[in-house]
Amino acid sequence: MSAASAAALPSAREWRVWVRRARRDHHARSLGDVLTDVYMLLWLFLVYGGALVASVHRHLQHPSGTPFAGPEPFWVGVSVLLVGSGLVWQALRAVGPLMATPAEQAWGISTPVSRRAWLSPRFVALVLSTSVGLALVAAAVSVLGLHHNEPGWAALAAGAYGAAGIASLVSAQTPGGWRWPRLAGGVLIGVGVLVAGTVVTAHYLGHPFPTPGIALAPALALTGVPLCILALAFAWRSLPRVDMAALSAGAEVATATMSATVWLDPSLLSGVLEVRRWRHVGTVRSRPFHGGPWRRTWVLLQAELRRQLRRPGAMAVWGGLALALYALTMVAPSAVGVGRLLLGYVAAGRLMSGLRTLSSSPGLRRALGGSGREQRIAHLVVPALGMVLWWAATAPAGGVQLDVLELLLIAGVVGAAFRAATRPPMSYGGFVLETPFGLIPMELVLQLARGPDLLGGVIVLRLLFGR
Amino acid sequence: MLDDIGFSLPAGQVLVVLGPNGAGKTTLLRCIVGADRPDAGEVLLEGRPLDETDPDVRAAMAVTLDDMDFFPDLSVVEHLELLAYAHGGDPAWVQEVVTELGLESARDQLPATLSSGQRRRLALASCFVRPRKLLVLDEPEQRLDVRGREWLAQRLLTEKAAGTAVLMASHDPELIDKVADARLVIGEP
What is the per-residue pLDDT across A295-321, written as a single tens digit (0 to 9) for each? 778 888 888 888 888 888 888 999 999
Let me know if A461 is exposed, middle or buried by CB neighbors in 10 A (0-12, 13-18, 19+): middle
B89 touches chain A (CB under 8 A): yes
Contacts of A110 in chain B (CB under 8 A): 58, 63
pLDDT at residue B89, as a whole number: 78
Is B83 in Cβ contact with A245 (below 8 Å)? no
Strand partners, A439: A434
Strand partners, B64: B137
In this predicted structure, the answer to whether residue A178 has a pLDDT above a threshold of 90 is: no
Let me know if B147 is exposed, middle or buried by CB neighbors in 10 A (0-12, 13-18, 19+): exposed
What does DSSP assign to residue A211?
Answer: P
Nearest by CB to A22, from B58, B74, B130: name it: B74
In this predicted structure, the answer to whether residue A65 has a pLDDT above a threshold of 50 is: no
Cis peptide before A97 (omega within 30 of 0): yes
* CB contact at 8 A, B141 and B152: yes
Contacts of A241 in chain B (CB under 8 A): 53
Tell me the three state secondary structure of residue A192: helix
B7 touches chain A (CB under 8 A): no
In this predicted structure, the answer to whether residue A234 has a pLDDT above a threshold of 60 is: yes
Arithmetic mean of pLDDT, A231-241: 94
If you measure CA to CA, which chain A residue comes closest to B33?
A244
Amino acid letter for position A313: G
Arithmetic mean of pLDDT, B175-183: 95
CATH number of B14-185: 3.40.50.300
In this predicted structure, the answer to whether residue A7 has a pLDDT above a threshold of 50 is: no
pLDDT at residue A69, as a whole number: 60
Bigger pLDDT: A317 vs A363: A317
Q: Which residues of A284-312 are buried (b: 16+ CB within 10 A; e: fewer)?
A: eeeeeeeeeeeebbebbbbebeebbeebe
If you measure CA to CA, which chain B residue comes closest to A244?
B35
List pLDDT tens digits, range B83-122. Answer: 888 888 788 889 999 999 989 999 899 888 999 999 999 9
Nearest by CB to A1, from B63, B73, B132: name it: B132
Amino acid letter for position A169: L
Least confident of A91-95, A278-282, B18-22, B121-125: A278-282
Model confidence at A425, in pLDDT bands (50, 70, 90)?
A: confident
Distances (CA, A) of A87 to A78, A140, A324, B132: 14, 21, 15, 43
| Angle separating helix axes A336-350 and A372-393, nearest 10 degrees | 140
In this predicted structure, the answer to whether residue A30 has a pLDDT above a threshold of 80 is: no
Nearest by CB to A19, from B58, B67, B82: name it: B82
**All residues at 6 or more sequence positions from A134 whose CB lies less than 8 Å from its CB, including other chains:** A158, A159, A161, A162
Give B140 to chain A, closest Cα distance, Å.
16
Rounded-to-integer distance, Cα A125 and Cα A127, Å: 6
| Angle separating helix axes A372-393 and A404-421, nearest 10 degrees | 130
Arithmetic mean of pLDDT, A352-370: 86
Length of chain A: 467
Q: Which of B27, B73, B114 to mutate to test the interface with A (most CBs of A within 10 A)?
A: B73
Model confidence at A365, in pLDDT bands (50, 70, 90)?
A: confident
Strand partners, B167: B15, B136
Give B116 to chain A, closest Cα distance, Å.
16
Model confidence at A62, in pLDDT bands (50, 70, 90)?
A: low
If you measure CA to CA, which chain B residue comes closest to A116?
B53
* CB contact at 8 A, B95 and B107: no
Rounded-to-integer distance, Cα B60 and Cα B76, Å: 23
pLDDT at residue A1, as a whole number: 43
Amino acid letter for position A84: G
**All residues at 6 or more sequence positions from A77 whose CB lies less than 8 Å from its CB, including other chains:** A141, A146
Amino acid letter for position B165: A
pLDDT at residue A291, as a whole number: 72
Contacts of B85 in chain A (CB under 8 A): 10, 15, 18
Tell me the three state secondary structure of residue B1: coil
Contacts of A102 in chain B (CB under 8 A): 67-69
pLDDT at residue A294, as a whole number: 66
Residue A292 Cα to chain centre, angstroms: 40
What does DSSP assign to residue B16?
Answer: E
Q: What is the CA radius of gyration of chain B?
A: 16
Give B106 to chain A, closest Cα distance, Å.
16
Contacts of B55 in chain A (CB under 8 A): 6, 9, 112-115
In this predicted structure, the answer to whether residue A6 has a pLDDT above a threshold of 60 is: no
Rounded-to-integer distance, Cα A170 and Cα A183, Å: 14
pLDDT at residue A61, as a whole number: 58
Q: Which of A110, A174, A237 to mutate to test the interface with B (most CBs of B within 10 A)?
A: A110
Strand partners, B16: B168, B183
| Angle separating helix axes A353-360 and A295-309, nearest 10 degrees | 120
- Main-chain phi, psi angles of A190, to 5 degrees: -60, -45
Arithmetic mean of pLDDT, A87-112: 91
B85 touches chain A (CB under 8 A): yes
Amino acid letter for position A259: S
Q: Which of A107, A171, A279 to mutate to test the interface with B (most CBs of B within 10 A)?
A: A107
Of A90, A322, A87, which Cα lies nearest the Cα of A196?
A: A322
Let me know if A170 is exposed, middle or buried by CB neighbors in 10 A (0-12, 13-18, 19+): buried
pLDDT at residue A275, as a whole number: 84
Contacts of B72 in chain A (CB under 8 A): 103
Distances (CA, A) of A193 to A90, A206, A323, A327: 16, 20, 8, 10
Contacts of A20 in chain B (CB under 8 A): none
Distances (CA, A) of A424 to A356, A416, A444: 9, 15, 12
Give A178 to chain B, closest Cα distance, Å.
16
In this predicted structure, the answer to whether residue A196 has a pLDDT above a threshold of 50 is: yes
Is A26 in Cβ contact with B73 (below 8 Å)? yes
Residue B37 Cα to chain centre, angstroms: 19
Nearest by CB to A245, from B36, B70, B78: name it: B36
Helix (H) or strand (E) holding B18: strand B14-18
Arithmetic mean of pLDDT, B139-144: 92
Bigger pLDDT: A141 vs A231: A231
Helix, strand, coil share of chain B (percent; to 5): 40, 15, 45
End-to-end CA distance of chain B: give it in Å, rounded: 13
The mean of the pLDDT values for chain A is 86
List pLDDT tens digits, range B27-85. Answer: 999 999 998 888 889 999 999 999 999 999 999 999 999 888 888 888 999 999 988 88
Give the DSSP letter string of B129-188.
SS--SEEEEESTTTT--HHHHHHHHHHHHHHHHTT-EEEEE---HHHHHHH-SEEEE-S-
Arithmetic mean of pLDDT, A391-399: 88
Of A345, A324, A304, which Cα lies nearest the Cα of A455?
A: A345
Alpha-carbon dihedral sign for residues A441, A443, A447, A450 = positive
Distances (CA, A) of A316 to A280, A310, A381: 18, 12, 19
What is the count of residue pairs from A and B with beta carbons less than 8 Å apart?
114
